[in-house]
Amino acid sequence: MTEQYRSEAGEQRSGPVLTTIEASHDGQRIDNFLLTALKGVPKSHIYRLLRKGQVRVNKGRIKPLYRLKTGDIVRIPPLALPQPRDEQRPPTGLCERLQRSILLEDDDLLVINKPAGIAVHGGSGIPFGVIEVLRFLRTDCPELALVHRLDRQTSGCLLLAKRRPVLLQLHELLRSGMMTKHYDTLLMGRWQGGAQSIEMSVQKSRSSSGESRVQVDAEGQVALSLFSPRQCFDDCSLMDVRIDTGRMHQIRVHAAHVNHPVAGDDKYGDFEFNRQMRRHKLKRMFLHARHVEFTLPDSGRHIVIEAPLDPALQRVLDSLNGKVEGK
């Protein structure tokens, strides 16, 4: 996208660039467009350029939330880019782990069974998340983007789109509730009363320390979760949860609000229950995105994806069922 050259000082620079927006980027926010187009430039620097008006659209200043239109002319100012360094490459082990996690890949989609403990994107001291690693591995897919997100400690189906038109289709499916998503989770206590629909609005807030939290709030965003019991143990319950909305921490907050917090949840969970579950070898939050199903409107392709349960979580269930390893 940009012409690059080296200055006498040796750093890599790019001259001012005028880019005409194509139809595939119509409706995209300017900040997201720049984050993809200017790989290697820190996010903070991109937002600084926008605040200072150094990025122009049709010769005028715009805000970071401005949505591009087909035919817009974007001017990107000269940038000083750091020299590529070996340490900026994702670790080989992480690349191999995510490569092995791929469940489906074609010209439109890349779907992985995200391992627990890996963030979906870098930031806040995390140099590489799923998106950074997969963009590194798929240099032929410059538009590769996350369709949705999973918490760092949540495993399971994570969708990425290789082309912006497909991304927009999938976002519309999510907004309209036409994408079916099921999770496996282990909750504190014995669930009573069969399947229950929990519809409670949630609101995101940030503490003075910068920590993000979500709470039930009538003034927040509508959130709907359907909890169905799969197996009940003495002091916990294995549940299937279908979510019709995709709010941050939705399942965890809904479960905690009805006094059945997710096992291993160190933000909304129960400390004593989590301690008890460690006796059953639970070392992470028990939340797994098991199933995703949808139909792409343009092609009519019906896609069903199942992500096998993390073996670490299966060992917890085996322990609760009284199974002994090696027998």
Catalytic residues: 151
107: left (phi over 0), alpha (psi -120 to 50) or beta: alpha
Contacting residues for 177 by C-beta, under 8 A, at least 6 apart = 244, 245
**First-to-last CA distance in the chain?**
59
In DSSP terms, 19 is beta-bridged to: 74
The C-alpha atoms of residue 158 and residue 307 are separated, in whole angstroms, by 9
CA dihedral 282, 284, 290, 294 (to 10 degrees): 170
The C-alpha atoms of residue 42 and residue 34 are separated, in whole angstroms, by 11
| Longest alpha-carbon distance in the chain | 73
Do 183 and 243 meet the contact criterion of CB atoms below 8 Å apart? yes
In DSSP terms, 294 is beta-bridged to: 303
Do 62 and 30 meet the contact criterion of CB atoms below 8 Å apart? yes
In DSSP terms, 158 is beta-bridged to: 112
Does an H or E element contain 48, and which?
A: helix 43-51
Does an H or E element contain 45, and which?
A: helix 43-51
- How many other β-carbons are positioned within 10 Å of the β-carbon of residue 129? 21
